[in-house]
Chains A and B, each alone.
Chain A
Amino acid sequence: MANTFKVKTNGAMPASAGTPLTLYTCPSSTQTIVIGLTLCNIHTTAVTADVQLVSDTSDTETNETVLLIKDVDIPAKSSLEVLSGGKYVLQATDILKVDCSVSAKIDATLSILEIT
């Protein structure tokens, strides 16, 4: 079992406001611990952001696609640390997506630990 720390970045997300854009997809045969997720507003005015966890993995229950944050304000010249103390676990094929009220105005930085 290997543990690999990684950082995933995506500049100017999403391509279209209202359409969440994939930031990270958990590979097959992998479990991922999300250590940190920072959304930086690169717009000149405030925007709102969503972070979505897409999951349909199943064991005793079947997961559903959920929002981690929804329409959270991010003032201009500011960043939002989505995780404050908590951690997320992603299973194979789970996806993290980011949306913004204005297209291409969020820089996202995702720190993870992949366990394979």
Chain B
Amino acid sequence: MGYIGKTPTPQPLTATDIPDLPATKITSGTFPALNGSNLTNLDAADLTGTLPAISGANLTGVSAGKVLQVVSAEDSSERSTSSSSFTDIVSASITPASTSNKVLVIVGVAGIRRDSGNGYITAKVVDGSGFSKSVGHAMLYNGSSGALRIGSANGSFLHTTNTTSQKTYTVQFNSATNAATVIVGDNGSSVSSLTLMEIEG
């Protein structure tokens, strides 16, 4: 047959036109985009390699207890006081994503020393909005007036903030009885720390 004028547009081949095409003949080209619904019989043993980086936002099926963010701060300065008024050691700020979330506060006050007199050192965490939690109360008695080193005071607690505003937590210490000069960060070689973790409520 021959045409005068236009020849009909050739019809594209479909898969039914090439029912016996062996896979070895498919050597080039680009497959169409696939999604999970196309992978109906994928064996778990075929899942090898490295997973992509994920963040907490990818863990959408976890109902509670998920760590949403972590903030930490450290201080190694030697600080001393003989007053019952509290002195700041280290601060860190965190902004909860929801009022139902909680903040896990982990405190470490390192290098506690007494230089003179007998007394107590108290360490606490405040948030500047009336919240205060004592995390260490150490007795510094040994019957002499020389230096007395007792190491560190550590503590942790879960704070229900009920806010989505930024919270700034500060670790403080004092000489509880005004009777002794107490030091933290002994010789500048001890590191006090404050770590804040937002826990999904």
Contacts and interface: CB of A to CB of B under 8 A. Distances in A.
B1 A81 contact: yes
B25 interface: no
Interface string B1-25: 1111111110000000000000000
A65 B4 CA distance: 28
Contact of A79 (B4, B8, B9): B4
13 contacts: A38-B4, A46-B8, A72-B1, A75-B3, A76-B6, A77-B5, A77-B6, A78-B5, A79-B3, A80-B2, A81-B2, A84-B1, A84-B2
A74 interface: yes
Contacts of B8: 46, 73-75
Interface of B: 1-9
A68 to B, nearest CB: 10
A79 B1 contact: no
Q: Say whether chain B's binding surface is mostly helix, strand, loop, or mixed.
A: loop
B18 to A, nearest CB: 22
Contacts of A74: 3, 8
B1 A75 contact: no
A81 B3 contact: yes
B34 to A, nearest CB: 35
B5 A69 contact: no
A89 interface: no
A75 B2 contact: no
Nearest to A69: B1
A82 interface: yes
Nearest to A77: B5
A82 B1 contact: yes
Given A77-B6, A78-B5, A80-B4, 18 more contacts: A38-B4, A46-B8, A69-B1, A74-B8, A75-B3, A75-B5, A75-B8, A77-B5, A78-B3, A78-B6, A78-B7, A79-B4, A80-B2, A81-B1, A81-B2, A81-B4, A82-B1, A84-B2
